[in-house]
Amino acid sequence: MNCLSQRQLIAYMEDRLSPVNKRNAESHLDHCTHCQHQLEQWIDELHQTEETMWEESLSKNMDQKIIQMLSPHPVRVLTPATPTHQPPAWKQRSITIMKRMTLTAAALTVVVSGGMLVSPTFASYVNAAFTNSPIGKADPVAPMNNSILQKSGDSGIEQAAQKGFAQTVNVSATDQGITFEVKEVMADPLRISIAAIVKDKNGKPMDSFLSEMIRRDNKEQVITIKDKQGNVLKPIEASANEDTRKPNEDWHNVMNVDTGYMSLDRELRSYFADISEIPDELIVEFNIKQLDDIKGNWKLSVPVDMKKAKAATKTHEINKTYTTPQGLKLDVKQMTFAPSGVEMVIDRSTTDNQRKEYSYELVNEKGTVVAAWDSKAVIREASKQNNVIKYLKWDHTRSTENGTRDFHYFQPIDASQSLTFKLGSVYTEEAAALNAKLDTDRLEKKESIAVEDQGDQFTFKKYQKDPNAVVDVEGYDGVHRVNDDGSTTKLEGYHLSFEGKLDPDTAAMTPFEYWTISDETGKKYVDVDYYIHKTEYEKGRAILGSTIFLENLTTLPKQLIITSEKRMVEHKNVEWEVPIYAGK
């Protein structure tokens, strides 16, 4: 199923869609977990910015005065249809946060991504190819004091820029009266951040830019990173999904409404087995074929001087090992302090080749948790992650001779304090025996069918649209693919809902990753989508709600059979802690 593109999401957020297309987008948002999570990420970052910036700079009185003068936020999906209906958590949170953050008429629909206040006025689709020779190359100049990235990056980028690691480059390309300019870059051995802008013939920032760099159907790269000799950098180990990986999705991009500058960010670590291998100079090449609806050629090269950041990056060897009672062996190898963040390297192996994951904390001498890592499979409400760099899109793992090497990234940590590694939970793959036989005639009669396996309770029923739903689209009767023009195409299939309450020992992860759906004849259904509409964590138990869509299932079998032979179990508070850094 095709999700809303970034262009469609942003047009919707800014209330620029026609009434029909707006309803279609809302219908999709109400049932698509991917687009809901996209919105949730923005809301999470907006909430963080609200706490760290706006609440300090505005009095409550001024806050209320401004809010009272503003109309409701244009995202209709965030407004309950009736006063008594409680919308899903992601919607309710957005109502509160958006009302508090909507501060000016020019920025009514503010979205925060990557730790910066942005207005998502993105409107371009980009298709590009690369050339091998640098074009428009310029020499780097000394780091500047009035840094754009210092004002717009996440906390690590801002801190690095503040300490003088941002470089002015001023490289531009003009075609069709439009100028694409890269103004500034900050790079250290962990990641790179670029500040760029698109301007019209009068030099005014345009209300559009490279919003579709990470568009799912992009086939050609927009950005290439090379060394000084012109060799294209490539990850030293291809990811498991390399064949389906899109060439631009590792770049995260956001835009600052006040300045018109976009921030383009990605990790650098996957290119090098060791930080010492990173060259003193890099070249970032752009080859853009289309901006918004205008086709042209915007080619330029951005020089990146790595010497100063490399000199300021220090790696501390740890090499502390422990094997848990569950058969998970951890080797905490090293910790690297870079200008924009901290990298933890941990080798992981198992005694039985079963999937095992873990969580941990970094605690200072005062007992304060300065950073924490948790499996990315844990649902948001239960996650123990703290102070992580959220938008590094690398897989964070690399194969080793005996297992896997994990790379975890945190915002800068004060290197003057002593740190202790404290292991939290261990997640193990265990046997399950779920066997839910769902009679379709009962489902069609709107009956609920409950099943239980090892304390995990699931209730299945035929999907029915909630008459009190926040989004009420007349005639909605299934899953629709949203087209680029905002129209929708209905997909044929069958809707099934389930609610699950997991046992306290079951890991707070989505159980359906292990599910198999078949019928009484043994036929398996593989075109299955799960749309999560509820994730909660109460008293140590994960509570999930999801709609299952079986595409192209139009004739019902006698039974739908859901089975699972595995589940993830959480072993809490595994006791192992070890000093890893003595401070300086």
pLDDT in tens, 528-553: 999 888 899 999 999 999 999 999 99
- Minimal CA–CA distance to 396: which of 339, 344, 318? 344
Lowest mean pLDDT among 23-27, 98-102, 493-497: 98-102
**308 or 34: whose pLDDT is higher?**
308
Q: Could you tell me the residue ranges of all domains in the chain?
A: 1-40, 148-310, 312-429+573-581, 430-471+479-568
Report residue 566's pLDDT band, with 50, 70 and 90 as the boundaries.
Answer: very high
- What confidence score (pLDDT) does residue 392 get? 79
Are residues 336 and 275 in contact, defined by beta-carbon separation less than 8 angstroms? yes
Cβ atoms of 220 and 129 closer than 8 Å: yes
Residue 456 has pLDDT above 80, yes or no: yes
Q: Point out the least confidently predicted range of 170-179, 292-301, 305-314.
A: 292-301
Indicate the range of 125-134, 342-351, 495-504 predicted with least confidence.
Answer: 125-134
Q: Is the pLDDT of residue 440 over 80?
A: yes
The chain-wide mean pLDDT, for the chain, equals: 77
* Structure confidence at residue 48 (pLDDT): 43
The per-residue pLDDT for 83 is 34
Closest to 145 in 3D by CA, of 184, 200, 191 = 184
Residue bearing tokens 């062996």:
329
Whether the per-residue pLDDT at 170 is higher than 60: the answer is yes
Domain 148-310 fold? Immunoglobulin-like (2.60.40)
Going by the DSSP 8-state scheme, the letter that residue 352 receives in this structure is S
Neighbours of 461 (CB within 10 A): 17
- Res 431 pLDDT > 60: yes
Q: Which residue has the higher pLDDT, 103 or 149?
A: 149
**Length of the chain measured in residues:** 584
List all residues 6 or more positions away from 523 whose beta carbon is below 8 Å from its beta carbon: 557
pLDDT at site 79: 29
At residue 504, does pLDDT exceed 50? yes
CB–CB of 421/413 below 8 Å? no
Is residue 115 predicted with pLDDT exceeding 60?
Answer: no
Q: Position 432: which residue type? A: A
pLDDT reported for residue 315: 96
Is the model more confident about 535 or about 392? Answer: 535
Token pair for 70: 């503003």
Domain 148-310 shares a fold with domain 312-429+573-581: yes
**pLDDT value at 55 more than 60:** no
Q: What distance in Å separates the CA atoms of residue 221 and residue 582, rounded to the nearest whole number?
A: 44
Quick check: 425 pLDDT over 50? yes
530 phi, psi to nearest 5 deg: -115, 125
What class does CATH assign to 312-429+573-581? mainly beta
Among 342-346, 348-352, 421-425, the minimum mean pLDDT is found in 348-352
Condensed to tens digits (0 to 9), the pLDDT of residues 236-255 reads 865 444 555 567 778 887 77
Lowest mean pLDDT of 81-95, 189-203, 454-468, name the range.
81-95
pLDDT of residue 535: 92
Closest CA to 271 of 156, 398, 410: 398
**Which pLDDT value is given to residue 398?**
86
For residue 466, give the 3-state DSSP assignment.
coil
Residue 146: pLDDT above 70?
yes
Total-model pTM: 0.74
- What percent of the chain is predicted at pLDDT more than 70? 68
Q: Which is more confidently placed, 23 or 137?
A: 23
> How remote is the C-alpha of 336 from its chain's centroid?
23
User: Picking from 41-45, 224-228, 534-538, 551-555, which range would have the lowest pLDDT averaged per residue?
Assistant: 41-45
Taking the C-alpha atoms of residue 105 and residue 383, their distance in angstroms, rounded to an integer, is 36
Looking at residue 273, its pLDDT comes to: 86
Mean pLDDT, range 269-293, rounded to an integer = 88
CA–CA dist 46, 40 (Å, integer): 10
Residues 6+ positions from 160 with CB-CB distance below 8 Å: 166, 186, 188, 309, 339, 340, 412
Q: What is the pLDDT of residue 497?
A: 93
Token digits of residue 231 = 């060799």
